[in-house]
Structure 1
Amino acid sequence: MQRLQAYKYELMPTGEQQRDMRRFAGSCRFVFNKALALQKERYEQGKKKLGYAGLCKLLTEWRNGSETPWLADAPTHPLQQTLKDLERAYTNFFARRADFPRFKKKGQSDSFRYPDPKQIRLDQANSRIFLPKLGWLRYRNSREVLGAVKNVTVSLSAGKCFVSIQTEREVEQPIPNGGSVGIDLGVVRFATLSDGTFYAPLNSFRRHETALRKAQQAMSRKTKFSSNWKKAKTRVQRIHSRIGNARRDFLHKATTTISQNHAMVCIEDLQVRNMSRSAAGTTGQPGRNVRAKSGLNKAILDQGWAEFRRQLDYKLAWNGGHLIAVPAQNTSRRCPCCGHVSADNRRTQERFACVGCGFEENADLVGAINVLRAGHAQLACEVSGAVMPPAAGTRRSDSCQLDAEMSAVGIPRL
C-alpha cells in the first residue's frame, strides 16, 4: 500500500532568506485576496465564476503588469498553488464541507507550497534543502525522511520558519494489533477507554492562560504598529505557539498509543461547533448561565477533539486498523446492563446510577462501553448490508436480534 507522510522541520535561514520567505508568503496572500475579490465582484455582476485556468491567465497578467511587477520576484508555482487553494475552498463551500472563503490576514497561516519535486533537492546528510529562489536552506534534522518527495510547504509562525516535506512510499499491508475499544471524550477525563483506562486532560490553554492574559494586556497598552507593539505581539504569538505545540504533542502521543494497540476504535461523532456555541442569546431573549457556558466552551475547545479524531483516523489506517464514528446521543444515559435510557441515570457528572436495575459505575466508562457496543452494531449492519445502522442510545424491540447480528460477523456479545 502507498503511504503519504509529511515530515516537518524547523528551518535555519539566513537573514536574506528569511526576508525572501516573508515576501513570498505576502505575494501568495496578495494573489489569494485579489482573486477572491475578483470572484466576489463577478458574482455581484451576475457573471460566472472563473476556474483555475482562467485565474492562472490573470496571474500572468498581474506578474507582467505595471501595477504589481513585484509579483515576478516570487516563484510562479507557489502563486499558482494559491489559486488552486482558492478553487478548492470554493469546491468545499459548494459541497457544504466548509464556510465561504475568507480573505487572508498577515501573520495568520503565512505559507507557500512548492508542488514540483523536480525543482527540489534534499540533502539529508548535510541537513539542507534546496528550494527555487531561496537556494540551499539548513534545517534541524531530527529524523530521516522516508520515501520520494512529492511537495514542500514553507510556513512562518511565531517568528520561526518551518518546512514540511510530503513524501510517498510503498509499504507492506500492516496487520493490526489488539482488539476493539470504545472511547468517550470529555473535559474532566480527556478520553476514557472501554477497558477502564483513561487519559487525563492536558488543558494546555488553561496552563498558559495567565501568562497569555498578561502579555495581551501589555500589548494593548502599546501604540499600535510601533516597535514596542510588535515586540509585545511577538511575545503573544510565542505563547500561542507554545500552547498549540503542547496540545499537538499530547494528542500525537495518545493517538499513537491507541492506534498501535487496537484494531478497531469506536468514537463519538461529536458536533463540536454546536457543543461550543455561545449561550449569550439576543437582547430580546438573553441566555442563561452565560458565564458558566463560556467556561465550558473554553474547556471543550482546549481539548482538541477534532484533531484527536483526525490523527486516530490516519494512524489506524497506517497500522491496519479501522475507525468507526457513532452517533453520540444518550451514550452516557443508557445502562449497559438493562438498556434503560433516562436522564435520571446520570444525576452527576461523574457517577452513573441506573434507575431501572441499580447498576453503578463511572459515567465516562459507561459512555465508552455504549460507544463500543454501538460501533459493533454499526459494523454488523455494514457487513450484513443494512441501510441504516442503529443509532447509539436506542433500544430494539427484540434485543436478541442485535446479538444475533453481532455473532454472525464474529463479534462477541458484550
Structure 2
Amino acid sequence: MAVEEARQGQPDPNHLQVKRLNRRWGAVKLPKFGWVRFRWTRPLGGTVRNATVLRDGGRWYIAFCVEDGLPEAAPNGQPPVGVDRGVVNAVTCSDGWAKDRELVTPGEAKRLRRLQQQLARQKKGSKRRAVTKAKLARLNARIRNRRNDLCVWVANRLTRRHGLVVVEDLNIKDMTAFAKGTIEAPGRQVRQKAGLNRAILNKGWSRLVLALEHAGRYHGCSVVMVNPAYTSQTCSACGHCASENRESQAVFRCVACGQLDHADVNAAKNILAAGLAVTGRGDLAGRRSVKRQPPVTEVG
C-alpha cells in the first residue's frame, strides 16, 4: 500500500466508505487511494468520522474515529483515589496499591544498544542501514505496545473501582527537556538528567492520563488534575512541608510529627486531598476559587 509513513488523517466522513468483505476482512475507500483491504479486528461500534493510516514497526495500521452516540456513564459512586506517577513504580495510589511492569527485558536492552551502535556506524542511505532501522522499529514497537497495555490496564482498573481519580498536572515536556545547555552556560549533571528523562518517558505518564479520561467516560469516573507543587515533601498527616521529610526515594518520615510512610503513597494521599478540595470548590484545575463549601448544619 503506497501511502506516507507519517500519519494521514481523513477529516471528511463523506469521503469514507467502509464495507465488510467477510468475518476477518473489510475494505475502506480512502481519498486518492481507492479501496484498501484491512484486517477487521473489532466492531466499529458507531458512525465512522475519519480514518488514520500509519506505519508502526514495519506494519501498516488503520484506525477509525467513530461517533458511538452513547452518553457519558452516570457516576459509579465508588470511593476516590489519588495517583502518583513515578519512575520506580509507574503508578502508586493513595490506598497503597502500586503497579509496574518490566517494559524492556535485559536481552532486549542489550540488543537495542547493539543495534543503535550498529546504526551509528553504517552509511546513511545504504541498504544495510535500512535493514537495521527496520529491526530497531520492530523492537521499539514491541516495547511501545507493552507500555500502552500497561496504561490501558491500569486505567481500566482505577476507573472501575473508583469514582474520582486525581492525578498531578505535570508539565512533562519541560520535565524531560534536554539539560546540555550552551557553551556559555553549560548544563550540570547532563548524563544523569538524560537518564531521568528516558525513565520518565519510558513509563508513559501522558498516555496514562489519556487512558484514564477515555475509560472514565464509560465507567462513570471523573479525572481531576491538581497542582503538583510540594506533594512529595508535605506530610499527609500533619501538613508539615520540608525537604528533609523525604529521606530517600521510598521513605518519607515527617520531621515534625514522625509520620512514617512510603514516599509515593504519601504523595498520592496529598494529591487526593488536593483533588477533593478542588472538586469541593467546584474547580476542575490546580487553581483554587474563592468559593467555600456550604456549612454543615446539624439536624436536631
TM-score range, shorter chain: 0.7 to 0.9
Corresponding residue of 1:176: 75
Shift of 1:224: 2.2
Amino acid paired to 1:227:
K
Shift of 1:206: 7.7
Corresponding residue of 1:150: 49
Q: Is 1:269 the counterpart of 2:169 in the alignment?
A: yes
Shift of 1:134: 4.1
CA distance in structure 1 between the partners assigned to 2:65 and 2:49 by the alignment: 6
Distance change (3 Å), C-alpha of 1:112 and 1:341:
closer
Shift of 1:240: 2.0
Corresponding residue of 1:199: 99
Question: Contact between 2:101 and 2:150, CA under 8 Å: does it hold in 1?
Answer: no
The aligned runs of 1:26-175 (5 Å cut-off) are 107=5, 109-113=6-10, 115-117=12-14, 119-123=16-20, 125-126=22-23, 127-132=25-30, 134-175=33-74
Shift of 1:321: 1.7
Amino acid paired to 1:272:
I
CA distance in structure 2 between the partners assigned to 1:119 and 1:332 by the alignment: 49
Amino acid paired to 1:128:
G
Q: Is 1:367 the counterpart of 2:255 in the alignment?
A: no
CA distance in structure 2 between the partners assigned to 1:266 and 1:406 by the alignment: 23
Corresponding residue of 2:293: 405
CA distance in structure 2 between the partners assigned to 1:282 and 1:118 by the alignment: 49
Shift of 1:260: 1.7
Shift of 1:308: 0.9
Amino acid paired to 1:366:
N
Corresponding residue of 1:291: 191
Amino acid paired to 1:213:
R
Q: Is 1:317 the counterpart of 2:205 in the alignment?
A: no
Question: Contact between 1:346 and 1:363, CA under 8 Å: does it hold in 2?
Answer: yes
Unaligned 5+ residue runs, structure 2?
Answer: none
Question: Contact between 1:111 and 1:155, CA under 8 Å: does it hold in 2?
Answer: yes
Amino acid paired to 1:160:
R
Q: Could you report, residue by residue, the CA deviation over 1:55-92 in whole angstroms, capped at 9, with x for unpaired residues?
A: xxxxxxxxxxxxxxxxxxxxxxxxxxxxxxxxxxxxxx
Unaligned 5+ residue runs, structure 1?
Answer: 1-17, 26-106, 391-401, 409-414
Q: Is 1:258 the counterpart of 2:158 in the alignment?
A: yes
TM-score (structure 2 length as normaliser): 0.87
Distance change (3 Å), C-alpha of 1:364 and 1:170:
same
Shift of 1:227: 2.1
CA distance in structure 1 between the partners assigned to 2:167 and 2:254 by the alignment: 23
CA distance in structure 1 between the partners assigned to 2:110 and 2:293 by the alignment: 53
Q: Which of residues 228, 243, 249 in structure 2 aligns to 1:343?
A: 243
- Looking at secondary structure, tell me which structure has more helix per residue: 1
SS of the residue corresponding to residue 68 of structure 2 reads strand
CA distance in structure 2 between the partners assigned to 1:224 and 1:388 by the alignment: 50
Q: Could you report, residue by residue, the CA deviation over 1:171-193 in whole angstroms, capped at 9, with x for unpaired residues?
A: 25423332110001111111111
Q: Could you report, residue by residue, the CA deviation over 1:109-154 in whole angstroms, capped at 9, with x for unpaired residues?
A: 3434262345412216442113145454332322222111222222
Shift of 1:261: 1.6
Shift of 1:406: 8.5
Question: Contact between 1:316 and 1:323, CA under 8 Å: does it hold in 2?
Answer: yes
SS of the residue corresponding to residue 238 of structure 2 reads coil
Distance change (3 Å), C-alpha of 1:111 and 1:327:
same
Distance change (3 Å), C-alpha of 1:225 and 1:138:
same
SS of the residue corresponding to residue 281 of structure 2 reads helix
CA distance in structure 2 between the partners assigned to 1:185 and 1:406 by the alignment: 33
> What value does the CA root-mean-square deviation take over the aligned residues?
2.7
TM-score (structure 1 length as normaliser): 0.64
Shift of 1:297: 1.5
Percent identical pairs in the alignment equals 30
Corresponding residue of 2:131: 231
Distance change (3 Å), C-alpha of 1:388 and 1:326:
closer
CA distance in structure 2 between the partners assigned to 1:183 and 1:283 by the alignment: 40
SS of the residue corresponding to residue 163 of structure 1 reads strand
